[in-house]
């Protein structure tokens, strides 16, 4: 007889397969070998030189599809867990009905919104409390931050957005509406240096530092005074040392963080394993499923 959480662990297995596939494909792509260039165009009407980013690759849409497959399997694993906890509780009380249709694993990352009660209404009270305790807006997560910062709504949003369950919720919600396109982000140190004028004098440099990188993005606007002898140009000495791949919308999620999300979900599922083990199942948690 299979354990009630067998399905949840199968979802974890599928997520692991997709993450391995994604890691392999990204790993063989020479991301740091792509030459990011700084191109420029002189605007004579404003006497400015616009510096833009160029040379960034167009990453395969397939990467976003693979990432979404992994994440949706992880989200399903949590929902499978919650459903089985509800089934377990109803059976223990002799209630002969299926759990409420609203039963699912909540992910609450807005402080002013609690966990919808319908989602955990059929769970044993202690199981519901355990699930509520691990929420991004729960006390166990927010207690690590200074109290004076928790009075600031903006600060609290930063803290709840940093929780990996928030990333899981945002990414799976994004995937319902659009593909999780992979984007290059600054991962290393960005070096900003003085520009040397060619056929001009540099008066002022206004940088538009980009965290998410894309071709044609404005990097800098340089106010110059032409000195003659040719079209004004600047010698750009800036440098982006390293990039990384991220997915989704704010809070953007780095590709390697997908494994961390997987480990969080695995930890949650396995933490309820013994609660639902009636002793009739000979199925054990496989090593790959453990966080």
Q: Is pLDDT of 111 > 80?
A: no
How many angstroms separate the CA atoms of 49 and 39, rounded?
10
Looking at the structure of the chain, the number of domains it has is: 1
What is the average pLDDT score of the chain? Answer: 88
- Judge contact between 158 and 137, C-beta under 8 A: no
- Rounding to the nearest 10 degrees, give the CA dihedral for residues 65, 71, 75, 77: 100
104's tokens:
């699912």
Residue range 264-276: mean pLDDT, rounded:
93
Is 120 inside a domain boundary? yes
Measured distance CA(174)–CA(250) in Å, rounded: 10
Q: Is residue 1 part of a domain?
A: no
Q: Are 104 and 122 in contact (CB under 8 A)?
A: no
In this structure, what is the dihedral angle of CA atoms 117, 122, 127, 128, given to the nearest 10 degrees?
0
Q: How confident is the model at residue 189 (pLDDT cuts 50, 70, 90)?
A: confident
279 inside domain: yes
- What predicted TM-score, i.e. pTM, was given to this entire model? 0.84
CA distance 288 to 291: 8
Query: Is residue 165 domain-resident?
Result: yes
265 vs 35, residue with greater confidence: 265
Q: Which residues constitute the domain of residue 208?
A: 6-289
């Amino acid at each position: 007889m299979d354990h009630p959480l067998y399905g949840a662990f199968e979802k974890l297995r599928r997520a692991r397969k997709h993450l391995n596939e994604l890691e392999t494909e990204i790993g063989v792509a020479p991301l740091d070998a792509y030459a990011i260039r700084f191109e420029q165009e002189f605007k004579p009407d404003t006497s400015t030189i616009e510096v833009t980013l160029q040379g960034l690759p167009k990453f395969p849409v397939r990467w976003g599809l693979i990432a979404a497959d992994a994440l949706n399997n992880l989200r399903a694993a949590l929902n499978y867990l919650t459903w089985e906890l509800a089934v377990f509780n109803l059976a223990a009380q002799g209630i002969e009905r299926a759990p409420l249709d609203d039963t699912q694993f909540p992910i609450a990352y807005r402080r002013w919104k609690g966990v919808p009660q319908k989602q955990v209404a059929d769970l044993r009270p202690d199981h519901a409390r355990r699930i509520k305790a691990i929420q991004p807006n729960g006390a166990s997560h927010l207690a690590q931050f200074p109290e004076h910062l928790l009075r600031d709504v903006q600060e609290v949003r930063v803290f709840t957005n940093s929780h990996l369950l928030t990333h899981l919720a945002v990414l799976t919600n994004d995937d319902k509406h659009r593909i999780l396109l992979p984007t290059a982000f600054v991962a290393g140190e960005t070096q900003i240096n003085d520009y040397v004028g060619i056929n001009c004098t540099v008066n002022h440099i206004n940088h538009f530092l980009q965290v998410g990188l894309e071709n044609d993005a404005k990097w800098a606007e340089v106010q110059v005074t032409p000195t003659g002898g040719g079209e004004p140009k600047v010698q750009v000495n800036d440098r982006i040392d390293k990039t990384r791949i991220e997915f989704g919308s704010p809070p953007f999620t780095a590709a390697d963080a997908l494994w961390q999300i997987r480990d969080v979900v695995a930890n949650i599922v396995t933490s309820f394993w013994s609660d639902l083990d009636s002793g009739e199942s000979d199925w054990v948690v496989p090593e790959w499923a453990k966080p």
